[in-house]
Amino acid sequence: MKNIFLIPLMFLTFLSLTACSPADDDSIIPEIPEQPENPGNGDSDDNNSEEPTDPTSGGNGRYLVLFTSRSGNTERMANEIRGQLDCDILEVEPQTAFEEDYNAMLERAREELDAIKQGNYPAVKTSMEDFESYDLVFVGYPIWYGSMATTMQSFLHGHASKLEGKRIALFATSGGSGISSSVREAETLCPDSEILDQALLLTSSSLSQMEIRVAEWLEGIGVGLEEPENSDVTSLKMNIVVGSRTISATMEDNAAARDLLSRLPMEVTLNDYNNTTEKIFYPNPELELDGVTRGCAPVPGDITIYAPWGNVAIFCKSWSHSNDLIKMGHIDGDGIEVLSVPGDVPVRFERTE
Residue 248 lies in a domain: yes
CA angle 152, 114, 179 (to 5 degrees): 50
Q: The domain spanning residue 76 has which CATH number?
A: 3.40.50.360
Let me know whether 134 and 209 are in one domain.
yes
Let me know whether 112 and 161 are in one domain.
yes
**Residue 101 near residue 36, CB atoms below 8 Å:** no
The per-residue pLDDT for range 305-318, each reduced to its tens digit, is 999 999 999 999 99
**In the chain, how many domains are there?**
2
Let me know whether 97 and 209 are in one domain.
yes
Residue 333 lies in a domain: yes
- For residue 229, the model assigns a pLDDT of 45
Let me know whether 64 and 212 are in one domain.
yes
pTM as predicted: 0.55
Residue 32 lies in a domain: no
Range of the domain at 75: 60-220
Let me know whether 94 and 209 are in one domain.
yes
Residue 39: pLDDT over 90: no
Long-range contacts of 313-316 (CB under 8 A, 24+ apart): 313/273, 313/278, 313/279, 313/280, 314/270, 314/278, 314/279, 314/280, 314/339, 315/277, 315/278, 316/276, 316/277, 316/278, 316/279, 316/340
- For residue 149, the model assigns a pLDDT of 96
| Residue burial 16-34, b: 16+ Cβ < 10 Å; e: rest | eeeeeeeeeeeeeeebbbb
pLDDT classification of 54: cutoffs 50, 70, 90? confident
In the listed set 220, 251, 279, which residue is the last one of a domain according to the structure? Answer: 220
Residue 14 lies in a domain: no
| CA dist., res. 76 & res. 74, Å (int) | 5
Residue 17: pLDDT over 80: no
Q: Which of 24-28, 40-44, 349-353 has the lowest mean pLDDT?
A: 24-28
Let me know whether 122 and 196 are in one domain.
yes
Let me know whether 260 and 295 are in one domain.
yes
**Residue 345 near residue 339, CB atoms below 8 Å:** yes
The per-residue pLDDT for range 58-86, each reduced to its tens digit, is 888 889 999 999 889 999 999 999 999 99
Residue 83 lies in a domain: yes
| Mean local confidence (pLDDT), 47-68 | 77
pLDDT classification of 225: cutoffs 50, 70, 90? low
Kind of pairing, strands 278-281 and 311-315? Answer: antiparallel
- For residue 226, the model assigns a pLDDT of 53
Let me know whether 108 and 138 are in one domain.
yes
| Residue burial 184-210, b: 16+ Cβ < 10 Å; e: rest | ebbeebbeebebbeebbbbbeeeeeeb
Helices (H), 21-101: 73-85
Which range is most confident: 98-107, 159-168, 253-262?
159-168
- For residue 317, the model assigns a pLDDT of 95
Residue 239: pLDDT over 70: yes
**Residue 349 near residue 303, CB atoms below 8 Å:** no
Q: State the Rg of the chain over Cα.
A: 27
| CA dist., res. 239 & res. 254, Å (int) | 18
| Mean local confidence (pLDDT), 33-57 | 51
**Residue 293 near residue 324, CB atoms below 8 Å:** no
Residue 199 lies in a domain: yes
Backbone φ and ψ for 254, nearest 5 degrees, come out as: -140, 170
- Write the CA distances from 205 to 175, 201, 218, integer angstroms: 8, 11, 20
**What does the longest C-alpha to C-alpha distance in the chain come to?**
116
CA angle 174, 175, 177 (to 5 degrees): 70
Residue 301: pLDDT over 90: yes
Let me know whether 204 and 267 are in one domain.
no
| Mean local confidence (pLDDT), 158-183 | 93
pLDDT classification of 351: cutoffs 50, 70, 90? confident
Let me know whether 82 and 160 are in one domain.
yes
Q: The domain spanning residue 242 has which CATH number?
A: 2.40.100.20
The per-residue pLDDT for range 103-121, each reduced to its tens digit, is 998 899 999 999 999 999 9
Spell out where 254-353 has E strands.
266-273, 278-281, 302-306, 311-315, 325-331, 345-351
Let me know whether 148 and 97 are in one domain.
yes
pLDDT classification of 2: cutoffs 50, 70, 90? very low
- For residue 176, the model assigns a pLDDT of 77
Let me know whether 101 and 142 are in one domain.
yes
Looking at the chain, the whole-number percentage of residues with pLDDT higher than 90 is 65
Residue 149 lies in a domain: yes
Compute the mean pLDDT over every residue in the chain, rounded to the nearest whole number: 84
